[in-house]
Amino acid sequence: MIKTTSNMLKIFSIVGFFALSGCWQKPTSTQYITDNQGRALILHGINSSSSAKHSEGHLPWITEADVEQEAVEWGFNFVRFLIFWDGIEPERGVFDESYLDAVEERVNWYTSRGVHVMLDMHQDVYGHKVDGNGAPEWATELSLMDNFALTFPDDLPWWISYIDPQVVAAFLNFWGYSNYQYLQDHYIQSWQKVAERFKDNPGVIGYDMMNEPYPGDLLSAITFTFEETRLKDFYDRLIPAIREIDNDKWIFYEPQSLGINFGFASKLPPIDDVREGDKRLVYAPHSYPLTLHEGVPYNLTDKLNMRDWNRNRVKELNSHKVPMIVGEFGGSDHVKGFRDYLNDTLNMFDMMGSGWAYWSNDPGGWGLLDEDRKETPKVDHLVRPYPRAIAGQPIAFSFDFDTKIFSLEFAEKDGVIGPTEIHLPDRHYPNGWRISSSDPQGRWSYDWDAHRQILSLTSDPEMATHFITVSSISE
Ligand code: IDC
């Protein structure tokens, strides 16, 4: 019996290998977030942090020294920073500037180190009144469900609470925009307060309008009709309101979380921006293979989830024509095969030209640090060579964890200034690295910032394309 199971597992992993290897698709014309020098940005970073959901003042656990570790030792150039409607507008119509002061102080820890900050208006399971987080108590309308809270056993996953009748009522009233229009109107005003506060901070790259929108009723969730109707209408209200205050930042939008996180197709139509100039919207889905999220060893169903996720996101990007940043993905080192999962998924994100934020920086099984604040094995995968900023039109980039070969191909593009910046972590190159370029000898050069482990490359503008490879020097 044991033998049969182990043979089955072998066959499964072989099938899984064929299901994944070399099969990742990419959008026909990948879009990128660009900086004020016109360079394409590849964003690698973390969510900071889950602890803020329940902490005093809704602030993450981090100190400035932790931010230094994330930005300099690990070389991340991105953070998805959690903020909460509850923190911004604790009483109806009363906006808490001291909360925004405290957020701003932490945001500046990141931006002063060159980390791009995206502010994520987080919620899970609606709000505290119904045992979730996000919405203030006064904005939790339960209709006739006041006495119908369900309690679930502690060993069930947290997201089961989405079927609690009170949670369902709170969401339906929020999205309905009929009897309780004030709910969305205040959510929108809260975003305007955030935009007023951060619009002049160039390190803040954008705003994630709502974490993991969930319709409330399961029927709209499983038929995905919510995305085409109430979710789209909500974005069409919120984006122009943010643009009244801030014309420049990137606005990140998410599809429904249920189903899409593990690979189903989204029905969200392309979203409109109303800013003057080019659209500045970013598609920001999450990626969580279903059983891996629940702690089951990395297996064929996860791989099939990832294959579907890849194909469906590519279709959506081909239709929406915006850049993609994966706002969340993650898991625990305790899960068998977790490092293989990370390798596969990070290769896929690179292939798609997508940036990402790992969930999350909170110390523990899912964290980069464990409970004793020691680095976990996953860090070796998350901290990988990547082009932080590309001075041209990216064609492809990749890193092979086993051979340590990093490659980057990009084309010249008019109007782009500054160097291409590549993060080359010492941990992958203990004896140093060597770099080659397809540009003619003597016509390209680089500077190396050993402290930040960042290479700044100047290419030959006469060449239409540039192909760079970095490899490890062996002892
Ligand atoms: C999880 C936290 C967990 C917490 C739970 C509910 O890791 O400690 O109990 O939220 O607040 C998401 C959510 C994100 C989740 C994450 C991992 O956006 O808030 O964090 N996840 O479960 N969607 C899918 C997974």
**How far is residue 443's CA from residue 235's CA, in Å, rounded to a whole number?**
48
Q: Is the CB of 157 under 6 A from ligand 1?
A: no
Q: Which atom of ligand 1 is found nearest the CA of 133?
A: 11
pLDDT band at 151 (very low <50, low <70, confident <90, very high): confident
Q: For 352-371, what is the mean pLDDT?
A: 98
Q: Is the CB of 158 under 6 A from ligand 1?
A: yes
Q: Write down the residue that tokens 């050993």 correspond to.
A: 450
Residue 207 has which token pair? Answer: 């705003």
User: What is the token pair recorded at 305?
Assistant: 């989830």
Integer angstrom CA distances of residue 178 from 75, 145, 182, 230, 365:
47, 18, 9, 11, 43
Distance 365 CA to ligand 1 centre (A): 13
Report all structural domains of the chain as residue ranges with CATH numbers, in order of start. 43-284 (3.20.20.80)
pLDDT in tens, 170-212: 999 999 999 999 999 999 999 999 999 999 999 999 999 999 9
Cβ of 80 less than 6 Å from ligand 1? no
Q: Mind listing the pLDDT tens digit for each residue in 395-419?
A: 999 999 999 999 999 999 999 999 9
Tokens representing 315? 């279709």
pLDDT at 278: 95
Reply yes or no on whether the pLDDT at 5 is more than 50.
no
Answer yes or no: is the C-beta of 53 below 6 A from any ligand 1 atom: yes
Burial of residue 143, with CB atoms counted within 10 A of its CB: 0-12 exposed, 13-18 middle, 19 or more buried = middle
pLDDT number for residue 199: 98
| C-alpha triplet 290, 292, 295: angle, nearest 5° | 120
Q: Looking at ligand 1, which atom is closest to the CA of residue 360?
A: 7
Single-letter residue type at 119: L
Tell me the CA–centroid distance for residue 376 and ligand 1, in Å: 19
Backbone φ and ψ of 290, nearest 5°? -60, -50
Residues whose CB is less than 8 angstroms from the CB of residue 243 and which lie 6 or more positions away in sequence, other chains included: 273, 274, 275
- Is the CB of 208 inside a 6 Å radius of any atom of ligand 1? no
Tell me the CA distances in angstroms from 252 to 1, 31, 183, 434, 468, one per residue in order.
50, 14, 21, 37, 31
Task: List the structure tokens of 216.
Answer: 């409330």
Q: Which of 328, 375, 330, 326 is nearest to 69 (CA)?
A: 375
First to last CA, the chain: 47
Q: Are the CB atoms for 61 and 70 separated by under 8 Å?
A: no
- Any ligand 1 atom below 6 A from CB of 141: no
Question: For residues 417 and 270, what is the distance between their CA atoms, to the nearest angstrom?
Answer: 31
156 alpha carbon – ligand 1 mean position (Å): 13
Against a cut of 0.75, is the pTM above it?
yes
Q: What is the CA radius of gyration of the chain?
A: 22
- On the question of pLDDT at 427 being above 70, the answer is yes
What is the 449 CA–ligand 1 centroid distance (Å)? 36
pLDDT band at 4; cut points 50, 70, 90: very low
| Nearest CA-CA partner of 135 in 216, 60, 63, 62 | 216
d(CA 96, CA 68): 28
Q: Where are the alpha helices (DSSP H) in 143-217?
A: 165-176, 181-198
The answer to whether the CB of 214 is under 6 A from ligand 1 is no
Beta carbon of 212 within 6 Å of any ligand 1 atom = yes
Structure confidence by residue, pLDDT tens digits, 281-335 = 999 999 999 999 999 999 999 999 999 999 999 999 999 999 999 999 999 999 9
Among all chains, which residue has been given the structure tokens 């540009």?
A: 439
